[in-house]
Structure 1
Amino acid sequence: MQSKRSRPFLKWAGGKYRLLDKLSPHLKGTKLIEPFVGSGAVFLNTDFERYLLGDINPDLINLYQCLKKEKGKFVNYAKSFFTEENNKQIAYLDFRVEFNAGVKGRRRAALFVYLNRHGFNGLCRYNKSGGFNVPFGRYKKPYFPEKEMYHFIHHARKTKFVCDDFVALMNRSRRGDVVYCDPPYVPLSPTASFTSYAAQGFSYDQQVELAYRAKILANRGVKVIISNHDNAITRKIYEDAEIESFPVRRFISCDGSNRANASELLAIYQ
């Protein structure tokens, strides 16, 4: 793990920046595979020889691929959206409509950065039809993460980004690789609402499938680490793994007074 930590350039619910101390001892090897890369907090703060980073969210992977390919040219293009005129609800909603109408390529990637930094609480949320539906955030002056984007570019030189599901990514692992999985967490309670950042969602059966795949890989010499809430459901799902549990403060919540500690765990298959 690097001595000086680097924050991701995207705001991201469930980002693992605050878990780096817990994860660090388990992330040793030549190649890291992340099937749920999210904001890339783990990738950005490790030093593997190679990376295979994937996610089911095509907008996220499109952004990362554009940034890796175009480098500073894309940074400058994305920065052009961060103006006083664009920091108004009417402009935000117009850009969101354009985004949901199916704009492609680098403009879609730049709009994704804009929506991420101007939308409410940095959420990335889609409705069942796949439409991005996060409301305007009303920030005085949204921060453009130029420094963080350049660090991402530097670190992405030895990285391959792919849009695919966790099964496909895990199947590409080989003996000696390390696989870190940060799936959408199970609800804290049976009545808790759960909205996935990907339109496809992530079901209980997929949580079970992920644990099953992890066990198979461990038997083939691939170390797998999975993070999730620590509750009765996950304890059952990960019953074949070594468990490390710890409290983590939740920072993204609609109710600012309700950002209490929640128990999380690492399930380690090796």
Structure 2
Amino acid sequence: MIKKQRAFLKWAGGKYKLVEALTQHLPLGERLVEPFVGAGSVFLNTDYPSYLLCDINQDLINLYQIIQAKPEKYLTEAKAMFVEAKNDKEAYYKIRDEFNRTRDPFLRSVYFLYMNRHGFNGLCRYNKKGGFNVPFGSYKKPYFPHDEIMAFAEKAQKAEFLCIGYEQAFELAREGDVVYCDPPYAPLSTTASFTTYVGSGFSLDDQALLARHARHTAIDRQIPVLISNHDIPLTRELYHGARFDTIQVQRNISQNGNGRKKVDELMALYDESYHSGND
């Protein structure tokens, strides 16, 4: 069995644990397009000739572009942040404040990894003014992902990274592509909606629009689209006409692991087999 490659970022909703099951549902193609690349586990564990990897988080895409272009310089600067003196609440909040003040892309990319590994649960969260606001995580010795960054940098030579929304990503898809969508998941209940990633978050209207883009991309342009989400009545209704399958994964939903549970995940594939009435 081929060894799985871990992403170098901690990421809520990351696909590392289910990447083997998920990739069995991805059609073959010349290029994989991901409108919601996140930490990139699917990118890292597939073998398409090329990739178009998109996200609306400018800090994330900026980080990936810098590692793609100058990994050695990045590794040197980022590793200098992973010292005992900086694994401290006061140091963390000072760096977080500097991150929120600077517009320098390289500095922000270095601080982003530091906060990802030193902040609470690896969350990526911003306030309404765009300031990163994840609290200190109090970890004994945060891990510096040197090998994972090098593996990402090597694979990134086959990729293009763009900071755009999912609608623009669909527009850029072309014949021969495969689209994989891993959107912020629909809430399991009205009280369980996840903290926003960027700006105003991903609404139920967005969930419905994404489903519509997927249908039209598959039907009108013959570009297959796979979407993953919670397996709930809402998503089965949203993705009507797709071919459904389910997979299970254990998710860590609390820092100490006491909140772990199995949740069914829905794989909805739109391809040439789609037939439906009006959309």
TM range (shorter): over 0.9
The 10-residue stretch of structure 1 (246-255 or 209-218) with the greater mean CA deviation from structure 2: 246-255
AA of the residue aligned to 1:132 = F
* Greater mean deviation of Cα atoms: 218-227 or 248-257: 248-257
Q: Secondary structure at the match of 1:38?
A: coil
- Checking the alignment, whether the CA contact within 8 Å between 2:31 and 2:49 is kept in structure 1 is yes
Q: Deviations over 1:52-110 (max 9, x none)?
A: 00000000001001111112111111111111110100000000011112332111000
- What is the rounded CA distance, in whole Å, between the counterparts of 1:117 and 1:37 in structure 2? 19
SS at match of 1:48: coil
Aligned to 1:265: 266
Q: State whether residues 214 and 224 of structure 1, in contact with CA within 8 Å, keep that contact through their aligned partners in structure 2.
A: yes
Equivalent position of 2:14 in the other structure: 15
Give 5+ residue unaligned stretches, structure 1.
none
Which residue of 2 is the match for residue 171 of structure 1? Answer: 171
Identity of aligned residues (%): 52
| Distance in 2 of aligned mates of 1:163 and 1:231 | 30
Of 240-249 and 117-126, the range deviating more from structure 2: 240-249
Give how far 1:174 is off: 1.2
1:140-166 per-residue CA deviation (whole Å, 9 max, x = no partner) reads 111000000000010000110000000
Does 173-182 or 188-197 show the bigger shift?
188-197
Aligned to 2:263, what secondary structure does the other structure show?
A: strand
In structure 2, distance between residues paired with 1:147 and 1:234:
37
Q: 2:250, 2:139 → 1: CA distance?
A: 23
Indicate if the aligned counterparts of 2:59 and 2:112 stay in contact, CA closer than 8 A.
yes
Contact 1:33–1:169 (8 Å) recurs in 2? yes
Whether the 8 Å CA contact 2:89–2:136 is kept in 1: the answer is: yes
Q: Which amino acid aligns with 2:50?
A: R
- How far apart are the structure 1 equivalents of 2:208 and 2:2? 35
Local SS of the residue matching 1:116: helix
Contact 1:123 1:134 in 2 (8 A): yes
Are the counterparts in 2 of residues 49 and 158 from structure 1 also a CA contact under 8 Å? yes
- Alpha-carbon distance, 1:217 to partner: 0.9
Question: For 2:149 and 2:11, how far apart are their aligned partners in 1?
Answer: 15
Structure 2 length-normalised TM: 0.93
- DSSP-derived class of the 1:180 partner: strand
Q: 1:1-270 alignment to 2 at 5 Å?
A: 3-27=2-26, 28-219=28-219, 220-253=221-254, 256-270=257-271
Question: CA separation of 1:138/1:255 partners in 2, compared to 1, >3 Å: closer, same or farther?
Answer: closer
Q: Partners of 2:135 and 2:268 in 1: how far apart? A: 35
**Paired residue secondary structure (1:194):** coil
Give the conservation status (yes or no) of the 8 Å contact 2:125–2:132. yes
The match for 2:274 is none
CA deviation after TM superposition for structure 1 residue 247, in Å: 2.5
Which one-letter code corresponds to 1:75 in the other structure? L
For 1:132 and 1:251, the matched residues in 2 are separated by: 22
**Structure 1 residue aligned with 2:275:** none
Asked whether the equivalents of residues 15 and 41 of structure 1 are also in contact (C-alpha less than 8 Å), the reply is yes
Q: TM-score if structure 1 supplies the norm length? A: 0.96
Could you list the runs of 5+ residues in structure 2 that have no partner in the other structure? 272-279
Structure 1 position 202, deviation (Å): 0.5
Cα distance, 1:254 vs. partner?
5.2
Task: Give, as a single letter, the amino acid of the residue that structure 2 aligns with 1:218.
Answer: A
Q: Say which is worse superposed, 256-265 or 76-85, in terms of deviation.
A: 256-265
Measured after TM superposition, the shift of residue 246 of structure 1 is 2.6
Question: Which whole-Å deviations, capped at 9, do the CAs of 1:108-134 have from their partners, x for residues lacking one?
Answer: 000000000000111111122221111
CA contact (8 A) 1:71 1:153 kept: yes
Counterpart amino acid of residue 204 in structure 1: L
Aligned pair in 2 of structure 1 residues 188, 254: CA closer, same or farther (>3 Å)? farther
Give me the whole-angstrom Cα distance separating, in 2, the residues matched to 1:102 and 1:236: 44
Contact 2:253 2:259 in 1 (8 A): no
Q: CA deviation at 1:199?
A: 2.2
Amino acid at match of 2:204: Y
